[in-house]
């Protein structure tokens, strides 16, 4: 008996076709109609998934967040905000790893697109809010938004490291660990009214910088 061909979900197929096209031809200027043709589906069905390349990337990130959060909640414990951020960010990187070549192209192409930059910043903030909310970090919207805003610039810097890391992601884990330590020290400093400890560096040159480009 002949084996039945494996059915690919239209959303998954469209995302894969878009990423393949990005690697070959770049991300800017990519059209859903072109991606639909490559994915072997009608333009109408493709538009049910995404209206353009940015919303298609949103769909991909939604899937990444959902899978990362599912893994987090299955192993949830009484973690600190630092543990939550480290676990959540690394699980996202794990989910994106096989698409890193395409995401690298998208990252550098989007840096020249002001609209994509703004959209990407909102996307990153939303993803971090999801991680914090799913972990039970915050019970109110204000705390959730403040926590996400503090972590966005940190994630931006670590994401850049991840783009050029090896498959074991060792450099990414080290960069994330150090960045979270710096943010923890900064939070402790503010809680003391801004006074640094005797053994703490006075300058903040290694603290995460403000996001200036699109991340995912």
Q: Is 177 contained in some domain? A: yes
- pLDDT of 96-155, one tens digit each? 999 999 999 999 999 989 999 999 999 999 999 999 998 887 778 888 888 899 999 999
Residue 118 lies in domain: 53-191
**CB-side neighbour CA atoms (13 Å) of 161:** 20
- So what's the pLDDT on residue 75? 64
32: in domain: no
162 in any annotated domain: yes
DSSP 41: S
| Residue 120 within any structural domain of the chain | yes
| H helix and E strand count, the chain | 9, 0
The residue whose two tokens read 């059915």 is 7
- How far apart are the C-alpha atoms of 41 and 123, rounded to whole Å? 27
Q: Bigger pLDDT: 133 or 204? A: 133
pLDDT of 204: 42
Among the listed ranges 22-36, 69-83, 105-119, which one has the minimum average pLDDT value?
A: 69-83
Please report, for the domain that includes residue 154, its CATH number: 1.10.357
- Mean pLDDT across 197-208: 45
Residue 187 lies in a domain: yes
Residue 41 lies in a domain: no
CA pair distance 148, 207, nearest whole angstrom:
16
CB proximity list for 177: less than 8 A, separation 6 or greater: 86
pLDDT at 214: 57
Are 35 and 56 in contact by the 8 Å Cβ rule? The answer is: yes
Whether residue 119 lies inside any domain: the answer is yes
pLDDT of 211 strictly over 60: no
- On whether residue 155 sits in a domain, the answer given is yes
Question: Is pLDDT larger for residue 214 or for residue 183?
Answer: 183
Name the domain count of the chain. Answer: 1
202 has pLDDT over 60:
no
Work out the percent of the chain whose per-residue pLDDT is above 90: 66
**Residue 77: band (very low, low, confident or very high) from pLDDT cuts 50, 70, 90:** low
Give the contacts of 116 (CB within 8 A, at least 6 positions apart). Answer: 54, 110, 214
What's the confidence (pLDDT) of residue 1? 45
The rounded Cα 50 to chain-centroid distance in angstroms is: 19
Average pLDDT, the chain: 86
CB 72 within 8 A of CB 174: no
């Amino acid at each position: 008996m002949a084996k039945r061909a494996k059915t690919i979900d239209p959303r998954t197929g469209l995302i894969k076709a878009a990423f393949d096209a990005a690697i070959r031809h770049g991300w800017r200027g990519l059209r859903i109609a072109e991606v639909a043709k490559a994915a072997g589906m009608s333009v109408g069905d493709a538009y049910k998934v995404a209206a353009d390349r940015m919303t298609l990337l949103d769909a991909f990130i939604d899937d990444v967040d959902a899978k990362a959060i599912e893994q987090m909640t299955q192993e949830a414990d009484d973690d600190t905000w630092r543990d939550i951020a480290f676990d959540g960010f690394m699980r996202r990187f794990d989910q994106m790893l096989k698409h890193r070549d395409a995401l690298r192209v998208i990252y550098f192409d989007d840096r020249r697109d002001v609209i994509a930059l703004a959209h990407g910043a909102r996307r990153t903030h939303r993803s971090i809010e999801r991680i914090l909310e799913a972990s039970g970090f915050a019970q109110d919207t204000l705390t959730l938004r403040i926590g996400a805003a503090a972590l966005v610039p940190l994630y931006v810097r670590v994401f850049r490291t991840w783009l050029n890391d090896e498959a074991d992601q060792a450099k990414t884990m080290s960069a994330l660990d150090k960045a979270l330590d710096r943010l923890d020290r900064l939070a402790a400093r503010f809680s003391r009214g801004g006074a640094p400890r005797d053994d703490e560096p006075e300058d903040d040159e290694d603290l995460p910088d403000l996001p200036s480009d699109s991340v995912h």
